[in-house]
């Protein structure tokens, strides 16, 4: 469906269309549409723009990825449908390979996700070749299938838009986990080392810019940024941000559209 440019929620509707189209092409799982709806609700509360605190979370995440020995970016259906070009670019800038890791793993989805990533310039995609696959025994569902060259041996894993138990398992295996999740209270958010509370669609291009500007920084300088960050404290500040924003709206910042 073509979304008219003058629709007041055109951008949001386009995002939905990309996911619906992605589902018909086997890129997105049916549950991916539900996950997106949950995210949209939180994005409303954020005011659909990146708060200052999320920029800080993104800077810390990039510092962690740049100072990692073996960083990996995990890709699921929603990520592949929403920002295939940007995720490929971020992977190049950070020198962090992409690995397809799916909750609802089906051969036709693997093929469709590989295709959209390759069409957007990906040269190497991990997670799909049987000979390199192994299991993480701590995970009971299909996300346990990982690539020996990728998540299995990674020290830092970026898991944008995720379900909680894999994050817990990766942490228990000693890996550092960075997530992008609009819900600051999700289990993934609470279990991650760095939680970026922002919409994926804004966070990834912002991280690309940050990575370009941080690339010249030394390892020590990057590590200081990471060490000085407390994820739990940042989540607390984000909850206060939601709280303050809603209070301001309730106290008079809310514009009545019927009186405009």
Cβ distance 180 to 186 under 8 Å?
no
Closer to ligand PTJ at the Cβ: 63 or 203? Answer: 203
Q: Site residues (CB under 6 A) for ligand PTJ?
A: 29, 31-32, 35-36, 38-39, 42, 76-78, 102-104, 161-163, 180-183, 186, 199-201
Shortest approach of ligand PTJ to residue 123 CB, angstroms? 22
Shortest approach of ligand PTJ to residue 16 CB, angstroms? 11
Shortest approach of ligand PTJ to residue 240 CB, angstroms? 19
Closer to ligand PTJ at the Cβ: 67 or 186? Answer: 186
Shortest approach of ligand PTJ to residue 103 CB, angstroms? 4
Residue 173 corresponds to which tokens in the numbers above?
């295996």
Closer to ligand PTJ at the Cβ: 113 or 222? Answer: 113
Q: Please list, in sequence order, all residues whose beta carbon lies within 8 angstroms of the beta carbon of residue 11, skipping any fewer than 6 positions away.
A: none
φ and ψ of 238, to 5 deg? -65, -40
Closer to ligand PTJ at the Cβ: 23 or 214? Answer: 23
The Cα diameter of the chain in Å comes to 64
Q: Please list, in sequence order, all residues whose beta carbon lies within 8 angstroms of the beta carbon of residue 88, skipping any fewer than 6 positions away.
A: 98, 117, 120, 121, 122
CA distances 61 to 174, 185, 220, Å, are: 17, 18, 15
């Amino acid at each position: 469906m073509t979304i008219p440019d003058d629709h007041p929620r055109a951008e949001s509707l386009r995002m939905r269309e990309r996911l619906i189209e992605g589902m018909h092409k086997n890129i997105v799982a049916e549950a991916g549409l539900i996950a997106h709806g949950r995210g949209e609700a939180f994005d409303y509360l954020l005011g659909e723009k990146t708060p200052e605190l999320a920029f800080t979370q993104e800077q810390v995440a990039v510092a962690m990825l740049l100072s990692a020995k073996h960083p990996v970016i995990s890709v699921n259906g929603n990520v592949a449908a929403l920002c295939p070009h940007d995720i490929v670019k971020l992977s190049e800038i950070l020198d962090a390979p992409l690995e397809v890791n799916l909750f609802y793993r089906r051969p036709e989805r693997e093929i469709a996700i590989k295709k959209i990533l390759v069409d957007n310039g990906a040269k190497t995609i991990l997670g799909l070749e049987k000979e390199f696959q192994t299991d993480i025994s701590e995970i009971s569902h299909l996300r346990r299938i990982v690539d020996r060259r990728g998540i299995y041996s990674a020290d830092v894993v970026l898991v944008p838009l995720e379900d909680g138990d894999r994050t817990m398992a990766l942490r228990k295996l000693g890996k550092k986990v960075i997530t992008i999740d609009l819900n600051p209270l999700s289990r993934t958010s609470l279990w991650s080392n760095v939680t970026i509370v922002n919409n994926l669609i804004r966070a990834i291009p912002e991280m690309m810019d940050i990575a370009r500007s941080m690339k010249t920084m030394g390892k020590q300088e990057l590590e200081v940024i990471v060490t000085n960050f407390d994820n739990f404290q940042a989540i607390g500040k984000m909850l206060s941000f939601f709280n303050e924003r809603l209070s301001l709206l309730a106290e008079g910042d809310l514009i009545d559209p019927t009186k405009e």
